Amino acid sequence: MNDLNQQAAAHYGKNFLKEVEDRVEDGEWVKMCMQCGVCAGSCPLGPHWEHSPQKIFRMIMAGKRDEVLSSDSMWMCTSCYNCIVRCPRKLPITHIMHGLAHYAHKLNIAPKGQPTREVARLFWNSLVQTGRVNELKFSLAVYFKDGFVRGIKNALAMQGIGLKLMKAKRLNPMEILGGHKCKDAGGIKKMLAKAKEIEDRRQGFSS
Amino acid sequence: MVKKNYAFYPGCSSQKGASASNFVTSINMVCDKLGIQLNEIPDWNCCSASIGYGEGGLLPRLVLNARNLALAEQHLPGQDLVSGCPACWLSTREAAEKLHEVDGLMAETNEALKEAGLNFKGTVRARHMVEVLVEDIGFEGMKKPVVKPLEGMKIAGYVGCQTNRPFGIDGESFENPQYLDKMIEIVGAEPASGYEQKVTCCGGALAFSEPEKSQKQIRDIVESAYDHGAEMIVTPCQLCQANVEVYQSEINKKKGTKLAMPVVYYSQLMTVAYGGNPKDAGLDGHVIQPERLRQIAERKK
């Protein structure tokens, strides 16, 4: 167990629900789930979830901390919001799934190499650099996330699509040299660092 | 005509040379015809979309969106923020609402915004371009500039997810919204009735990370359009447009299908119906050519 995870587990003991309520986006809604299963039946990637949102909510209440946080279920969320609009108790399920995924990532107990976890990290890194996402650099980073050889194979496999998009002026090879960015990219970096600092302090992460 | 003014938030995919640049091309002509003035928010930033959550916590994501809202409030006072991208709209609107709903969040957000020399008072509303068209212009208003009805075309209206959920357009149903079909009718085409994949998810950002799972969604969306006799799909969403159009060749390669269904934006249909040429409508921006739409756009009358 790493430090952040160890500290969190020690601090909250068996009360995983309290930990979720304190530290996970919209976590205070979890206890409202009445186990109807509409979310499970509404999810486009439902069959690929190890545990549906319905089960995740029950597992949180049952204190199954490691099983929940190390699951790759939440990373199957496509952000389609079907579950949110159909939930009879109006739980913001999509947000809770994002929140759980983020928390598991932050504690570094989310599954290693989970593809959506990696893509999410690369997307954020791209936007933090210049304030805007660079689609070309982001795509290349995604192809090369599993190493150089895999990256070349991925890039070759997608070459046809890339060339077509370039021809359609929807992918600009010059973006590799920098491309679109915010003038105040420096201010944005400072602002994001401050926001993280405030949130960490509120959630009891910093000393 | 007195123009209606809006603070425009294009979003990363709508920049020049990016994946949805042809959306911006076509919406410009639509706005011009309808008396809508889009004033770009100076130095806007990424909204973090619906994938930024992995690395970015809630407050950093709210602050990103608050920066755009604050810039709009400061530089374009009194104007609604409008985005054509559902992910941008959703993130911005969620942020605008959450800052008011949760105690202390506005103060924390402004503490962070100060690092970028900004402050948000909370007066800006975040809206989607389709809301502006449906609510502020109205269907009758959208019909007026039509000079070249797209007669004889049958089009599947694919709404997708985030234009529809969780906020929706003009209070319409989440399961079977009608506005896109109405827009297809306004431009003189026929909506494919009973198109049951209308609000199905294309996989969103997971098209990158889970290609097999997303491509199954995309295949259903395209095949159902064929089943309902459509010759084209129209969508209000940048990511839907890219995913559903671009991955058809991959699906063909892997599954031996012969999918070749053009996928365009509502703004491209409107531009052509309003008399725009293929360039005005951004029709050069497709990997599957919307041939029939191009023919109509090239026609003199």
CATH topology of domain A3-111: Fumarate Reductase Iron-sulfur Protein; Chain B, domain 2 (1.10.1060)
Query: Total domain count for chain B?
Result: 2
pLDDT number for residue A151: 76
- Residue A146: per-residue pLDDT: 78
pLDDT tens track for B105-130 = 999 999 999 999 999 999 999 999 99
Closest partner CB to A133 (pick from B12, B108, B206): B12
Distances (CA, A) of A110 to A5, A10, A122, B47: 11, 18, 16, 24
Tokens describing residue B84 = 């054509």
pLDDT band at A168 (very low <50, low <70, confident <90, very high): confident
pLDDT confidence of residue A166: 82
Report yes or no on B103 lying in a domain: yes
Calpha distance B62→B224 (Å, rounded): 37
Query: Best residue in B16, B41, B45 to probe A by mutation, most A CBs within 10 Å?
Result: B45
The closest alpha carbon to B53, from A116, A80, A182, belongs to: A116
Tell me if B48 and A180 make a contact (CB, 8 A cut-off).
no
Here the tokens at position A110 are 């989310």
Residue B282 and residue B208 share a domain: yes
* Cβ B72 vs Cβ B81: under 8 Å: yes
Distance CA(B218)–CA(A74), nearest Å, equals: 21
**Alpha carbons B241 and A135: distance in angstroms, whole number:** 15
Q: How far is CA B235 from CA B1, B82, B242, B254, B264, in A?
A: 29, 18, 10, 25, 6
Task: Tell me the average pLDDT of chain A.
Answer: 92
What is the residue-wise DSSP string for chain B? Answer: -PPEEEEE---GGGSTTSTTHHHHHHHHHHHHHHTEEEEEPTT-----TTTGGGTS-HHHHHHHHHHHHHHHHHHSTTPPEEESSHHHHHHHHHHHHHHHHSTTHHHHHHHHHGGGT----S-PPEEEHHHIIIIIIHHHHHHTT--S--TT-EEEE---STTTSSS-STT--SSS--HHHHHHHHTT-EE-TT-TTTT----TTHHHH-HHHHHHHHHHHHHHHHHTT-SEEEES-HHHHHHHHHTHHHHHHHH-------EEEHHHHHHHHTT--TTTTTGGG-SS--HHHHHHHHS--
Q: How near does any CA of chain A get to the CA of B260, in Å? A: 14
> Residue B211 sits in which domain range?
146-298
- Check B165 against A202: CB less than 8 A apart: no
Q: Is there a contact between A102 and B111 if contact means CB atoms under 8 Å apart?
A: no
Quick check: A106 pLDDT over 80?
Answer: yes
What confidence tens digit (pLDDT) does each residue in B53-100 have? 999 999 999 999 999 999 999 999 999 999 999 999 999 999 999 999
Q: Answer yes or no: is B223 within a domain.
A: yes
Q: Are residues B188 and B54 located together in one domain of the fold?
A: no
- Tokens representing A153? 């194979």
Query: How far apart, in Å, are the Cα atoms of B121 and each of B46, B100, B106, B113?
Result: 20, 10, 9, 11
The answer on pLDDT for A148 being more than 90 is: no
Interface probe, candidates B21, B25, B51, B61, chain A, greatest A C-beta count within 10 A? B51
Q: Quick one: closest CA in B to A116, which residue? A: B209
What letter represents residue B169's amino acid? I
Asked if the model's pLDDT at residue A207 lies above 80, the reply is no
Instruction: Tell me how close the Cα of B137 comes to any Cα of chain A, in angstroms.
Output: 27
ipTM score assigned to the predicted complex:
0.96
Does any domain span residue B52?
yes
Same domain, B121 and B175: no
Kindly state the average pLDDT of the residues B184-192: 98
- Whole-number pLDDT of residue A172: 82
A117 chain-B contacts, CB cut-off 8 A: 54
pLDDT tens by residue, B208-261 = 999 999 999 999 999 999 999 999 999 999 999 999 999 999 999 999 999 999
> Are residues B181 and B266 located together in one domain of the fold?
yes
* Interface touch A84/B21, C-beta < 8 Å: no
Does residue B139 lie within any of the structural domains? no
Listed in sequence order, the residues at least 6 apart from B175 whose beta carbon sits closer than 8 Å to its beta carbon are: B199
pTM of the model: 0.96
Chain A residues lying within 8 Å of B52, measured CB to CB = 120, 123-124, 127
Average pLDDT of every residue of chain B: 96
Whole-Å CA distances, A50 to A40, A68, A72, B202, B230: 11, 10, 7, 21, 37
> Looking up tokens 């609009």, which residue turns up?
A85
Question: What per-residue confidence (pLDDT) applies to A165?
Answer: 84
Look at residue B160 and tell me if it is in a domain: yes
Task: Give A183's contacts (C-beta < 8 A, 6+ positions apart).
Answer: B43
In a domain, B118, yes or no: yes
Residue of B nearest to A186 (CA): B116
Please report the pLDDT score of residue A1 as a whole number: 55
Is B165 a residue whose pLDDT tops 80?
Answer: yes
More confident of the two residues A138 and B186: B186
Is residue B41 domain-shared with residue B173, that is, in the same domain?
no
CATH number assigned to the domain comprising residue B170: 3.40.50.11810
- Same domain for B115 and B246, yes or no, is no
Query: Do B159 and B289 have their domain in common?
Result: yes
Q: Write down the residue that tokens 């629900």 correspond to.
A: A17
Cβ B71 vs Cβ B43: under 8 Å: yes
Contact A199 B108 (CB under 8 A): yes
Give the pLDDT confidence of A24-57 residue by residue, as tens digits. 999 999 999 999 999 999 999 999 999 999 999 9
Q: What is the DSSP string of A76-139?
A: G-----HHHHH-TT---HHHHHHHHHHHHHHTT-SPTT-HHHHHHHHHHHHHHHHSS--HHHHH
The answer to whether the CB atoms of B43 and A183 lie below 8 A apart is yes
- Tell me how long chain B is: 301
How many other C-beta atoms lie within 10 A of the C-beta of residue B17?
Answer: 17
Could you read off the pLDDT of B174-187 as tens digits, one per residue?
999 999 999 999 99
From CA A169, how far away is CA A147, in angstroms rounded?
29
Instruction: Give the pLDDT score at A116.
Output: 96
What average pLDDT does range B184-205 have in this prediction? 97
CATH number of the domain encompassing residue B113: 1.20.1050.140
Residue B140 lies in a domain: no
Is there a contact between A106 and B203 if contact means CB atoms under 8 Å apart?
no
The domain segmentation of chain A, as residue ranges, is 3-111, 115-196
Closest CA relative to residue A16, chosen from A70, A74, A80, A72:
A70
DSSP secondary structure code for residue A198 in this structure: H
Top pLDDT among B34 and A176 is at B34
pLDDT in tens, B250-266: 999 999 999 999 999 99
**Among A191, A196, A197, A202, the residue to mutate for chain B (most B Cβ within 10 A):** A191
In chain B, residues with a C-beta closer than 8 Å to the C-beta of A165 are: 19, 246, 287
Shared-domain flag, residues B175 and B225? yes
